[in-house]
A and B are shown apart, each in its own frame.
Chain A
Amino acid sequence: MKDFTPSVLFAIAQETVGAVFWILVALAIAVAVGFVVALIRQRGFRGPAARIAVWSGVIAGVIAAATAPMATQAGFANLNGMLDWILLAVAGLAAMVALAVVVFALLGATRSAAV
């Protein structure tokens, strides 16, 4: 497990995902742009778009945390110590943030702010 420098992590990410890597990068950029547009149109992270984003994010986060061990062919009994619970929390948080960003980008970029 020698040097996990940024370019090595990048190479590993590419190898993990394979041919669709650049498509995913393009999608991520599109979502980021959409998020910024949504922030502008909604005048901040607020309004119905933000509320729906947060709730759907929370639901996604809970589902991700609840199913993460099973997704790796393991179970909750295998979580041993702070390290594993942190990993679970990170998985849940990542899912929550990712879905909230996507939902807010989709809803917020395509409608005007409520006054």
Chain B
Amino acid sequence: MSDRSRFTLDRRQMLAALAAASAGAVAPSGVRAQSVATKARIVIAGAGAAGLTMASRLAQRLDGAEIVIVDPRIDHVYQPGLTLVGAGLKPATYVMLRTGDFVPRSVRFVQESVAEFDPVGNKVVTDKGTQLPYDFLVVATGLVLDYTAIEGMEFGLIGREGIASVYGGPQAAEASWRALDVFRQRGGVGLFGRPQTEMKCAGAPLKQTFLADDYLRRSGKRAASEIIYNAQNDTLFSVPLVDAKVRELFARQEFKINFSHVLTRIDPARHIATYATAKGPVELKWDFLNLIPPMRAPLAVRNSALRWQSGPLSADGWIDVDRTTLRHQRFANVFGVGDINGVPKGKTAASVKWQAPVAADHLVGTITGKGGTERYNGYTSCPLITKIGQAMLVEFDYENRLTPSFPFIGPLEEHWLVWVIKETMLKPNYTAMLRGLA
């Protein structure tokens, strides 16, 4: 285990001592709850935001459990920061973390990829052939980006021919900034939009449009440019109250909107994007193309019995969990956390923050026999940047109700304060979450 993890455990002990010493400190759920003695074997598939958070929380609550976390990557990306990198506001290193810094000492990190899920046989098999039997499985694989589903597109094009796509990672986000930088200096036609599939952070396509617009206004090229947003259906956002506000802002900023336009192919040499529409294919020329790929579950999950077998979430392999307890609906010893879940809302880091304690509660409750009591209500949060220096704090649940965390911040108001929260507090909040401390 790395030195940093040992240091972290000392800090955590000191933190617990200080918290206990300060009068009236309220225990956050799960962190200082009674520890449970067990010999359970738990496999966590994936060491992203969800996997690491679950590893930390389970390691804190379970005494003696054999916990294994499986992920081929030793680098961990702070994904909420990618939009800032792609807008030239932070360097690529801002989002680059190391998985090893966050894996608890008592958890074994297997640096391989899960190739097969066998929930009937209660084991996973890795790409190296390693068999990992389990008593409990936490599926936290996240999703995969399917760039090649768009004909003519491939990962290496990001940053070239005016194509931006921050989802591709830290280097892709930096390359995307270079493309945006050229666009703001020259102006022209900017094409924005989102895929038809489920996606992580449905607010990002909108934020990226607002940021490009702000840059063009600052460089004086906005009048000579056109910003076109191609919505994949007849809304800009799935929450009606937020959708109405976004339409108002889009009108204010003079964006052109095409509804029900789904990107199907691009011609990088001619800068022509083709969209499927109700009236047949439509071609649009771009100087700048903000391309967000279709997203789906990783192959190993799609090929497994864990996926939804029918219904609206079955097409892309998302897993069939109960929306409030996050327990798999057919395999009681399997839980899902994060983007992989087939639930109506919640592919954001903030959703992971709320989902992890719930899944952990029900998993531990199964071990103790007392059951779990916590419920996930679909909480999703989106600090919707509307220009450099301002953002709206949009938070909502499964019922599309707005659920503000801070009662004094209006959810559909643009504030510098919300921008400051996004710029200064969210990353430390995220890393504290990975350590099971927030």
- Contact across chains for B18 and A10 when beta carbons are under 8 A apart: yes
Asked if B89 is at the interface of the complex by the 8 Å CB criterion, the answer is: yes
Interface of B: prevailing SS: mixed
Q: Whole-angstrom distance between the alpha carbons of A34 and B89 in the complex?
A: 40
Residues of chain B with a CB closer than 8 A to A81's CB: 413, 415
Q: Is the CB of B25 within 8 A of A7?
A: yes
Task: Check if A15 sits within 8 Å of B417, measured CB to CB.
Answer: no
Contact A1 B406 (CB under 8 A): yes
Complex Cα spacing A43 to B432, Å: 43
Report whether A87 and B417 are in contact in the complex, using a CB–CB cutoff of 8 Å: yes
Task: Let me know if A12 and B438 touch, CB within 8 A.
Answer: yes
Known interface pairs A3-B29, A15-B432; A78-B408 also in contact (CB < 8 Å): no
* Cβ-neighbour of A5 out of B25, B395, B427 (below 8 A): B25
Contact: A83 with B417, CB < 8 Å? yes
A74 contacts partner chain B, Cβ-Cβ < 8 Å: yes
Q: Which residues of A contact B388 (CB under 8 A)?
A: 73-74, 78
Pick from A14, A69, A84: contact of B11, CB below 8 A: A14
Within the complex, what minimum Cβ distance (angstroms) separates A82 from chain B? 9
Q: Which of B376-397 contact A (CB under 8 A)?
A: 379, 381, 387-390, 393, 395
**Complexed CA–CA distance, A73 and B214 (Å):** 13
Chain B residues positioned under 8 Å from A74 (CB to CB): 388-390, 416, 419-420
A12 touches B395 (CB 8 A): no
Contact with A along B65-89 (1 / 0, CB 8 A): 0000000000000000000000001
Query: What B residues does A13 contact at CB under 8 A?
Result: 428
Say if the beta carbon of A48 comes within 8 Å of chain B. Answer: no
Interfacial chain B residues near A14, Cβ < 8 Å: 11, 15, 428, 432
B19 near A10: Cβ-Cβ < 8 Å: yes
State which residues 82-102 of A face B: CB under 8 Å.
83-84, 87
In the bound complex, how far is the Cα of B11 from the Cα of A16, in angstroms? 14
Q: Are A8 and B438 in contact (CB under 8 A)?
A: yes
Nearest residue (CB) in B for A5 is: B26
CB of B31 closer than 8 Å to a CB of A: yes
B288 part of interface (Cβ distance < 8 Å)? no
The answer to whether A69 touches B416 (Cβ under 8 A) is yes
Enumerate chain B residues within 8 angstroms of A79, measured Cβ to Cβ. 416
Q: Which residues of B contact A78 (CB under 8 A)?
A: 387-390, 416, 419
Q: Inside 8 A of B419's CB, which chain A residues have their CB?
A: 72, 74, 78
User: Cβ of B381: which chain A residues have Cβ within 8 Å of it?
Assistant: 1
Q: Which residues of A contact B320 (CB under 8 A)?
A: none
Assuming the contacts A11-B438, A14-B15, A73-B423, asked whether A1 and B395 have C-beta atoms less than 8 A apart, the reply is yes
Nearest chain A residue, comparing its CB with the CB of B29:
A3
CA A15 to CA B417, docked complex, whole Å: 20
In addition to A80-B413, A81-B415, 19 A-B residue pairs with Cβ atoms within 8 Å of each other are A1-B381, A2-B354, A2-B379, A3-B26, A7-B19, A7-B25, A8-B432, A8-B438, A11-B435, A12-B438, A14-B15, A15-B435, A72-B389, A73-B423, A74-B389, A80-B390, A80-B414, A80-B416, A83-B417
Interface residues of B (CB under 8 A from A): 11, 15, 18-19, 22, 25-29, 31, 89, 350, 353-354, 379, 381, 387-390, 393, 395, 405-406, 408-409, 413-417, 419-420, 423-425, 427-429, 431-432, 435, 437-438
Q: Which residues of A contact B (CB under 8 A)?
A: 1-8, 10-16, 69, 72-75, 77-81, 83-84, 87
Q: Identify 12 residue pairs between A and B in the complex whose beta-carbon atoms are under 8 Å apart, listed by A's number.
A: A1-B381, A1-B405, A8-B432, A8-B437, A14-B432, A72-B389, A72-B416, A79-B416, A80-B414, A80-B415, A83-B415, A87-B416
Nearest first, the 7 closest Cβ-Cβ pairs linking A and B are: A74-B389, A1-B405, A78-B389, A15-B428, A11-B437, A11-B432, A16-B428
